[in-house]
Amino acid sequence: MNTTETLRVKSIMRPFPHTIRRDARALEASALMNEQKIRHLPVVDDTGVVGVVSDRDLKLLFSLVRIDHRVEDLLVEDAFIEDAYIVDVDAALQDVLLDMADRQLGSVLVTSNGKLAGLFTTVDVCRAFGEYLQPR
């Protein structure tokens, strides 16, 4: 790789991530995360991507349930983050990494022409950096 080449988010993102509807049950989102061994799910509705929910968001929601409420009644929209960090697939990787660090973010939603194209997480960064450091 040429060291002057600007790396783009699309080179490391996970394309075509699983998604969950904002009106889905929170337990369904948790089960999907466990099944797929992931920690973040883009949240969608009829208009497109509306945010992201993490396993941490769901655990907090479940822990706050009062006795007069049922966990089964909780929805993804009760826990998800609407103000998610969204970047284009061609965003410069170094800029996104610095923003993630400054904002202390665990994930980034990646779009192409305004549509969800991928998900980029701290785990993806660690994996890519670990592979880069492997002896050749």
- Residue 98 domain-assigned? yes
Output the pLDDT for position 25. 97
Q: Is 87 left (phi over 0), alpha (psi -120 to 50) or beta?
A: beta
Domain that holds residue 78: 9-133
- Specify the pTM: 0.86
| CATH code for the domain in which residue 118 is found | 3.10.580.10
Domain count, the chain: 1
- Residue 75 domain-assigned? yes
Q: Is 20 left (phi over 0), alpha (psi -120 to 50) or beta?
A: beta
Mean pLDDT of the 6-14 span: 92
The greatest distance separating any two alpha carbons of the chain, rounded to the nearest whole angstrom, comes to 60
Output the pLDDT for position 115. 93
